[in-house]
Amino acid sequence: MHADPALDALFLPFDDGLLPPPAGGAFLGARAGVALQRWSSAGLACEQDYRPVALALERAGIGVVADALQPPPTFPTVLVLPPRQREQSRAMLARAVKLAGERGRVVACAANNAGAKSMQDDLAALAGPVGVLSKHKCRVVWTEPGTTPSPLVDEWLALDAPRPILDGSVLSRPGLFAWDRVDPASALLVAQLPTDLAGRAADLGAGWGYLSRELLARNAGIASLDAFEAQYRALPLLERNLAPFADRARIATHWSDVTAGIDGTYEVIVSNPPFHADDRVDRPDLGRRFIEVAAAALVPGGRYFMVANRHLPYEATLARHFRDVRVLADARGFKVFEARR
């Protein structure tokens, strides 16, 4: 199990007896680790919508809720590992304050280089003075029970709500990749897509659905499309954004960790694989695994269209798994590949 300083720091106030045990509490943004395992008997309701992390919790024997926990149920303690995206983080902290109610306590933690000071300021703005503990280059902050929540709570709850973007024809929400725009890598891939693609298609890491929509719009021969996405909170948006094509193609969305493999066989696969994890360090192994999974799922003659940062070393992996690999575009720091089985 890899080191997780924020998770370790989050539980320090309980380990050291500064705060009462979090029995019967909730844990928003829960992650598996030794620190959580020590408190496995506390009966925490663990919420995690990112499939790889949810799977790690399940493998550790910890039950997971994918949907966001919502009031009116309240918890004596609400633990929070907030995301980096500021609007999503503020909305999660506001929801934590609601879930704690007037009698409960919110305890949140973030790394110093991942917005810890902003998180402290935000929680104080929502719930008054906070306690603070610094350790492992992280900051743990907590509220005191009995404080009256700020009117900001209701305002911030809506910060990560789905909303129209671009020309208003699609919905997205903060926290998804390139949530409020078309990212340049995906736009470069779309510009290279042919219009003669047909059969069964898949989008690996579909986000809010840009690649899937463009693939369907440009190729009337696509009979079905499976959109695989690791963030559960993206699935309702995917379904809504792809609904206009449901009259001519079978559309299915899947909460999936693509790196664990996918079921099904396809004539066409598109993807803009993730190239880093939450710590923002390059992770070329993720892209390599997407290539391997795509190769295993394509029928002979099937075509894989992929875009990646130019500096990431994917050519050898593509050559190993496909008989024919072409660079369709090399611009703006990205490369677009077409690979055939």
The CATH 3.40.50.150 portion of the chain extends over 5-157, 163-340
| pLDDT at residue 147 in the model | 87
pLDDT reading at 329 higher than 80? yes
pLDDT in tens, 18-27: 999 999 999 9
- Whether omega for the bond prior to residue 13 falls within 30 degrees of 0, making it cis, is no
Q: Of 185, 163, 144, whose CA–CA distance to 88 is shortest?
A: 163
Q: With contact defined as beta carbons under 8 Å apart, do 229 and 254 qualify?
A: yes
* Confidence band, pLDDT 50/70/90 cuts, at residue 274: confident
Q: What percent of the chain has pLDDT over 70?
A: 98
In the predicted model, what is the mean pLDDT of residues 110-128?
Answer: 97
pLDDT reading at 280 higher than 80? no
pLDDT in tens, 50-88: 999 999 999 999 999 999 999 888 999 999 999 999 999
pLDDT in tens, 145-155: 998 999 999 99
pLDDT in tens, 206-264: 999 999 999 999 999 999 999 999 999 999 999 999 999 999 999 999 999 999 999 99
Q: In CATH, what class is 163-340?
A: alpha beta
| pLDDT at residue 3 in the model | 84
Q: Structurally, what CATH architecture does the domain formed by 5-157 represent?
A: 3-Layer(aba) Sandwich (3.40)
C-alpha distances in angstroms, 296 versus 52, 191, 223?
20, 26, 20
| pLDDT at residue 93 in the model | 98
Q: How far is CA 101 from the centre of its chain?
A: 27
Q: The tokens 């929502």 sit on which residue?
A: 126
Distance CA 107, CA 130 (A): 9
Residue type, 94: A
* Confidence band, pLDDT 50/70/90 cuts, at residue 141: very high
Distance CA 13, CA 28 (A): 17
* Confidence band, pLDDT 50/70/90 cuts, at residue 284: confident
Question: DSSP secondary-structure letter at 69?
Answer: P
In this structure, of 1-5, 170-174, 260-264, 315-319, the range with the lowest mean pLDDT score is 1-5
Query: Can you give the pTM of this predicted structure?
Result: 0.94
Distance CA 3, CA 11 (A): 14
| pLDDT at residue 201 in the model | 98
Distance CA 250, CA 130 (A): 51
